[in-house]
Amino acid sequence: MKNYQVTDVDSYLQAVPENVRLALANLRATIKAAAPQAEESISYMMPGYKYLGPLVYFAALKNHLALYGATKNMLELFKTELRPYKISGTAIHFTPEQPLPDSLIQKIVTARIRENEERKAAKVRDVQVKEPLKSAN
């Protein structure tokens, strides 16, 4: 990845070698298909997707590519499918030669959407429970 600030995902992809670009363009398309409601942006100097909070990010690094955002629960849930890949924290490392399968990307993104929706619903429930207590005072 060239060391300069990019402002959109298209620019990010243009800044990487062709084999990396093809792998990341496929990853991007799969994320967008799994989360059409997600907002695409550059965050932390890498492409990111947000829907009710952060979903996933991806990056081209010196020796590998990475998908960020999988939670520890997800890593456990998909551990069999992730076995061929190196995991560092909640980042999944892969290469253009051994990309993540589209079906796995879809599962991860769908699970992240569900987690964000559940977290939002829990916050709404918490507010609804606390509001009557406030008005009683």
Per-residue b/e over 6-34, b at no fewer than 16 CB within 10 Å? beebeebbeebeeebbebbeebbebbeeb
pLDDT (tens place) for every residue of the chain, 137 residues total? 554 578 899 999 999 999 999 999 999 999 999 999 999 999 989 999 999 999 999 999 999 999 999 889 899 999 999 999 999 998 999 999 999 999 999 999 999 999 999 988 887 766 666 655 555 55
Query: Taking the model in full, what pTM does it have?
Result: 0.86
- Residue ranges and CATH numbers for the domains of the chain are 9-136 (3.90.1150.200)
